[in-house]
């Protein structure tokens, strides 16, 4: 695939979330060949885990479904799931990228009938739901998974399980001898859309995440509220399933903090306001407490904030929660100083939501090639080298900003291939 | 409300360890993680914004500034590296200078620039005394073995009052008296200011005895037991160093008092109470144990401080280091002087003893202006804290 200028016209997009999908489509729809790779078993990324997302509070099926269809229909895009970049050699315009495809143990015969999962006796923690429920060791990542193909966690599969799964498949799709595959692709430029990982809440030892079921993260809240989540959309306390009559939102949990993430993740204030609407829809009288340093509601979202600050059972307290005490009844007490009145507050609540920030995944996991990164692990684009960052790999942002930056990244990537 | 920031005050704080104060963004993590602050009007979040805004009057009348033990829990959890613990220390440094009398001396003791003069004053005074005493020489090895440093300022045959004691009293007692007077003045001014700011009930004051029993004594007991200090988590080592150090001072106070009594009162009738004590004398044992406790305590604090500066990025400053150096100097010169006496090294012993006298005089003379002032200011701030929570505080009366 070399064009007349001697460059490979193709573009590699690393990461198949909303950002990678956008970049891949934008580049492909103007005629470039695109390799779109994704580390997990399905495209969709973090957006797939949300209950609703801004700006219109759509369910993720809304935005992802149309993008999946566009990808499916576009013959310029080749998709690889369970695939990561191992190494990159060559020069801008002509990179040889070594990709590693992890074994899925299910081949393309799969019709997603689900018989293997039904037959499988082995249960594993459901990582898509942050471990709040279990799933079979042969599973579909989520209802909307694309490609629509099962995946098997072979390490957790018992000998009996292996037999059962194999026997259950009518299409001979289960292949437990599948090996790691290596593929080399030739591309002009690489768009890094590697996204983000929720900051590890156990690192804030004073917030006691993991010490009580009542303490969850904002992403866990999304799963709780999602119709395809562990509770079928009921916002209840994990563990005992108690309905919540009071809830505290702990803003900046590990964000804007030089001991954790030193930047503002940009989305957590709006995410909390959004999640307050989830709670309000389900519990008209529940008391909601938001503990914040500054409430950041950019642009038109000011109206959204007003709606919630006018709610008579919502209380906004300026002061960061610096201590959470698990209580014997399953609830927790959050402790903060109200910087306006100057007194400490000890608020007992049924559930506390830690608004944890976005940690750039590539910075966290380490990059396979040398990339320009800032102190926090965000990738700084090097357009000359054809190494372009997009979405939350570039900076913490909401979906709208992410898709804009992905379109921009696609344009930069195309420019390298047309030199 | 018209706020007049005191820019010079802010600059001062930045110079004595509060250089990070502008980084604070008022998240109030510090007030929650502080093990010493209470639910009503906790600290140090409010002190941080007062410091940023240069609201000096709020800070120097704030008992919480002195209640802080600078354990560093707030600094460890601070998301911005604003180091509230150090800022509180800087405010205290300012307060000691502010309340110190005479102000010239207080100012001198507030920065490293003054250090040469701070050392020169006692050195010159003691040297002049030494010249005036006419001793000005070294004793024979035999005399040294027999009298130790008890004839540093010579000897006369007036049995009611030893010449050496006379000369030591000549400079030590005025130094101490000045310190006591200055501390008294400082404390009474601070108390008045605190009482006014925190609206203590003016018609209903505790009697002296009530005050002693109800507030001051419990405060002292609390301090002796290190009740508050031991609450600290991040920097538990400081309490480990501070406790032996404090007991060492108490031990050495007892030794000094006994020496005075034995030499100058009992010694008038019973001759053997004169002269240096033998090694196994219980008082001498107490003195030596105290000296070791002092050296151990100050060593812990020294290494701890140095470690905090290299690891946690604490800024080094004269205010914090002066006291460490000063106590180290007292301990080391005192111990070395004793060692020289056992070893019979007259000249070196005398020189070290001279340094020891200088160090001790500095300890007394600059007590109310340097970090050592926390000895009195914190004691009374804890007493005030107890007082304002009692029925004598209007807050409680309203309830």
For a pLDDT cut of 90, what percent of chain B falls above it? 65
B79 and A346 within 8 Å at the Cβ level: the answer is no
Buried-state track A263-285, b at ≥16 Cβ within 10 A, e below 16? bbbbbbbbbbbbbbbbbbeebee
B181-239 pLDDT tens trace: 999 999 999 999 998 888 777 677 888 999 999 999 999 999 999 998 888 888 788 88
Is B128 in the A-facing interface, judged by CB distances under 8 Å?
A: no
Are A344 and A376 contained in the same domain? no
What mean pLDDT value characterizes chain B?
A: 90
pLDDT at B395 over 60: no
Rounded to whole angstroms, how far apart are CA atoms A100 and A80?
Answer: 10
Contact residues, chain A, for B42 at CB < 8 Å = 337, 342-344
B42 and A344 within 8 Å at the Cβ level: the answer is yes
Closest CB to B79 among A258, A336, A346: A258
For B77, the closest chain A residue by CA position comes to A259
Which of B23, B25, B29 should we substitute to test contact with A (largest number of A Cβ atoms within 10 Å)? B29
Over range A402-411, report the average pLDDT: 97
Q: How many CB pairs (< 8 A) connect A and B?
A: 63
A260 and B46 within 8 Å at the Cβ level: the answer is no
Are A54 and A188 contained in the same domain? yes
Query: In this structure, is residue A18 part of a structural domain?
Result: yes
A206 and B39 within 8 Å at the Cβ level: the answer is no
* Nearest CA-CA distance, residue B261 and chain A, Å: 53
A220-249 pLDDT tens trace: 999 999 999 999 999 999 999 999 999 999
Are A263 and A343 contained in the same domain? yes
- pLDDT score at B60: 94
B77 and A206 within 8 Å at the Cβ level: the answer is yes
A258 and B32 within 8 Å at the Cβ level: the answer is no
- pLDDT score at B98: 94
B17-39 pLDDT tens trace: 899 999 999 999 999 999 999 99
- Residue A128 three-state SS: helix
Are A143 and A214 contained in the same domain? no
Rounded to whole angstroms, how far apart are CA atoms A108 and A162?
Answer: 18
Over range B57-83, report the average pLDDT: 93
Query: In this structure, is residue A393 part of a structural domain?
Result: yes
Are A375 and A260 contained in the same domain? no
Are A206 and A337 contained in the same domain? yes
Give the count of domains, chain A. 3
Query: In this structure, is residue A169 part of a structural domain?
Result: no
A337 and B26 within 8 Å at the Cβ level: the answer is no
- pLDDT score at B397: 41
Kindly tell me the burial class for residue A98, based on how many C-beta atoms sit within 10 Å of its own C-beta (0-12, 13-18, 19 or more): middle
Is B40 in the A-facing interface, judged by CB distances under 8 Å?
A: yes
* Nearest CA-CA distance, residue A297 and chain B, Å: 18
A339 and B26 within 8 Å at the Cβ level: the answer is yes
- pLDDT score at B317: 86
> What strand order describes the sheet that includes A314-318?
A215-217, A351-356, A246-253, A287-292, A314-318
Q: What are the φ and ψ backbone dihedral angles of A337, each rounded to 5 degrees?
A: -100, 125
Boundaries of domain holding A141 = 115-157
* Nearest CA-CA distance, residue A262 and chain B, Å: 8
User: pLDDT band at A3, cuts 50/70/90?
Assistant: low
Contact residues, chain A, for B46 at CB < 8 Å = 342
| Contacts with B239 (C-beta within 8 Å, 6 or more apart), sequence order | B71, B226, B229, B230, B232
Partnered with residue B393 across adjacent β-strands are B200
Residue A325 sits in a domain whose CATH number is 3.50.50.60
Is B29 in the A-facing interface, judged by CB distances under 8 Å?
A: yes
Over range A106-132, report the average pLDDT: 96
Q: What are the φ and ψ backbone dihedral angles of A385, each rounded to 5 degrees?
A: -85, -5
Residue A342 or residue A3, greater confidence: A342
Domain residue limits, chain B: 7-99, 113-389
Which of B27, B76, B234 should we substitute to test contact with A (largest number of A Cβ atoms within 10 Å)? B27
pLDDT at A50 over 80: yes
In angstroms, the first-to-last Cα distance of chain A is 15
What mean pLDDT value characterizes chain A?
A: 95
Tokens 């002066």, residue located: B322
Closest CB to A344 among B26, B29, B32: B32
| Contacts with B116 (C-beta within 8 Å, 6 or more apart), sequence order | none
User: pLDDT band at B399, cuts 50/70/90?
Assistant: very low
User: pLDDT band at B376, cuts 50/70/90?
Assistant: very high
A367-396 pLDDT tens trace: 999 999 999 999 999 999 999 999 999 999
**Region of poorest pLDDT, from A87-91, A351-355, B153-157, B198-202:** B198-202
Are A220 and A255 contained in the same domain? yes
Query: In this structure, is residue A88 part of a structural domain?
Result: yes
* Nearest CA-CA distance, residue A330 and chain B, Å: 22
A160-183 pLDDT tens trace: 999 999 999 999 999 999 999 999
Are A336 and A376 contained in the same domain? no
Closest CB to B45 among A260, A337, A346: A337
Is B77 in the A-facing interface, judged by CB distances under 8 Å?
A: yes
Query: In this structure, is residue A163 part of a structural domain?
Result: no
- Residue B331 three-state SS: helix
- pLDDT score at B396: 44
- pLDDT score at A1: 47
Q: How many other C-beta atoms lie within 10 A of the C-beta of residue A68?
A: 22
Over range A253-282, report the average pLDDT: 96
pLDDT at B268 over 60: yes
Rounded to whole angstroms, how far apart are CA atoms A79 and A16?
Answer: 9
Contact B86, B70 (CB under 8 A): yes
A322 and B25 within 8 Å at the Cβ level: the answer is no
Are A266 and A189 contained in the same domain? no
pTM listed for this prediction: 0.90
Q: What is the ipTM of this complex?
A: 0.88
* Nearest CA-CA distance, residue B29 and chain A, Å: 5
Sign of CA dihedral A68, A72, A76, A79: positive
Tokens 């604490």, residue located: B314
- pLDDT score at B355: 96
Q: Which of the listed ranges A101-110, B103-112, B146-155, B201-210 does the model predict with the highest average pLDDT?
A: A101-110
Contact A265, A358 (CB under 8 A): yes
Over range B321-345, report the average pLDDT: 94
Is B233 in the A-facing interface, judged by CB distances under 8 Å?
A: no
- pLDDT score at A6: 60
* Nearest CA-CA distance, residue A28 and chain B, Å: 44
């Amino acid at each position: 695939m070399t064009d007349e200028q001697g460059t490979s016209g193709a573009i590699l997009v690393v990461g198949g979330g909303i950002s990678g999908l956008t970049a891949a489509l934008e580049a492909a729809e103007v005629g470039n060949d695109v390799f779109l790779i994704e580390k997990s078993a399905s495209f969709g990324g973090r957006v797939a885990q949300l209950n609703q997302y801004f700006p219109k509070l759509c369910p993720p099926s809304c935005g992802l479904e149309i993008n999946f269809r566009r990808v499916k229909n576009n013959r310029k895009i080749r998709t690889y799931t369970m695939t990561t970049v191992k190494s990159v050699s060559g020069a801008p315009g002509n990179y040889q990228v070594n990709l590693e495809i992890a074994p899925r143990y299910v081949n393309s015969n799969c019709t997603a009938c689900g018989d293997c999962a039904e037959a499988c006796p082995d249960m594993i923690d459901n990582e898509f739901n942050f471990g709040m429920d279990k799933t079979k060791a042969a599973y579909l990542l989520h209802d909307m998974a694309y490609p629509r193909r099962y995946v098997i966690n072979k390490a957790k599969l018992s000998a009996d399980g292996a037999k059962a799964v194999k026997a259950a498949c009518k299409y001979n799709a289960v292949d437990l001898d599948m090996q790691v595959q290596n593929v080399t692709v030739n591309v002009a430029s690489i768009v890094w859309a590697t996204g983000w990982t929720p900051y590890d809440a156990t690192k804030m030892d004073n917030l006691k995440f993991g010490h009580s079921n009542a303490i969850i993260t904002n992403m866990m809240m999304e799963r709780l509220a999602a119709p395809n989540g562990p509770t079928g959309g009921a916002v209840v306390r994990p563990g005992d399933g108690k309905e919540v009559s009071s809830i505290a939102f702990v803003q900046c949990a590990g964000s804007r903090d030089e001991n954790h993430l030193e930047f503002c993740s940009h989305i957590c204030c709006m995410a909390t306001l959004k999640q307050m609407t989830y709670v309000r829809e389900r519990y008209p009288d529940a008391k909601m407490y938001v503990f914040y340093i500054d409430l950041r509601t950019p642009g038109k979202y000011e109206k959204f904030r007003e709606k919630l600050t006018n709610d008579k059972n919502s209380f906004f307290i300026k002061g960061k929660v610096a201590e959470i005490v698990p209580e014997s009844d399953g609830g927790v007490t959050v402790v903060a100083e109200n910087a306006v009145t100057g007194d400490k507050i000890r608020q007992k609540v049924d559930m506390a939501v830690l608004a944890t920030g976005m940690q750039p995944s590539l910075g966290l996991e380490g990059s396979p090639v040398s990339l320009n990164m800032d102190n926090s692990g965000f990738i700084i684009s090097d357009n000359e080298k054809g190494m372009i960052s997009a979405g939350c790999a570039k900076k913490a942002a909401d979906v709208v900003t992410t898709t804009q930056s992905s379109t921009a990244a696609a344009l930069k990537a195309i420019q390298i291939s047309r030199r | 409300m018209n706020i007049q920031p005191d820019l010079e005050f802010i600059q001062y704080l930045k110079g004595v360890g509060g250089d990070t104060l502008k980084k604070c963004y008022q998240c109030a993590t510090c007030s929650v993680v502080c093990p010493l602050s209470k639910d009503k009007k906790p600290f140090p979040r409010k002190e941080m914004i007062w410091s940023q805004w240069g609201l000096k009057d709020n800070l120097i009348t704030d008992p919480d500034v002195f209640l802080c033990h600078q354990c560093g829990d707030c600094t460890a959890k601070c998301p911005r590296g604003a180091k509230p613990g150090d800022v509180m220390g800087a405010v205290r440094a300012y307060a000691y200078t502010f309340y110190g009398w005479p102000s010239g001396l207080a100012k001198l003791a507030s920065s490293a620039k003054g250090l040469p003069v701070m050392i020169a004053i006692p050195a010159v005074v003691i040297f002049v005394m030494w010249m005036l005493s006419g001793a000005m020489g070294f004793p024979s090895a035999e005399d040294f073995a027999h009298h130790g440093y008890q004839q540093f300022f010579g000897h006369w045959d007036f049995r009611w009052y030893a010449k050496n004691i006379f000369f030591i009293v000549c400079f030590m007692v005025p130094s101490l008296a000045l310190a006591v007077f200055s501390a008294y003045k400082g404390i009474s001014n601070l108390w008045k200011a605190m009482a006014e700011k925190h609206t203590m009930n003016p018609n209903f004051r505790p009697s002296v005895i009530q005050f002693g029993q109800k507030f001051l004594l419990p405060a002292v007991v609390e301090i002796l037991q290190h009740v508050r200090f031991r609450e600290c988590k991040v920097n538990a080592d400081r309490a480990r160093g501070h406790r032996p150090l404090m007991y060492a001072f108490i031990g050495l106070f007892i030794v000094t008092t006994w020496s005075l009594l034995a030499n100058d009162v009992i010694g008038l009738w019973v001759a053997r109470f004169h002269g240096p004590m033998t090694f196994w004398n219980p008082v001498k044992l107490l003195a030596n144990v105290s000296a070791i406790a002092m050296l151990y305590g100050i060593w812990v604090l020294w290494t701890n401080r140095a470690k905090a500066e290299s690891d946690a990025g604490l800024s080094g400053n004269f205010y914090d280091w002066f006291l460490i150096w000063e106590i180290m100097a007292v301990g080391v010169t005192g111990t070395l002087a004793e060692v020289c006496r056992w070893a019979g090294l007259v000249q070196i012993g005398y020189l070290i003893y001279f340094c020891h006298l200088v160090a001790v005089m500095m300890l007394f003379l600059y007590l109310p202006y340097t970090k050592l002032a926390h000895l009195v200011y914190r004691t009374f701030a804890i007493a005030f804290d107890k007082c304002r929570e009692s029925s004598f505080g209007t807050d409680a009366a309203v309830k």
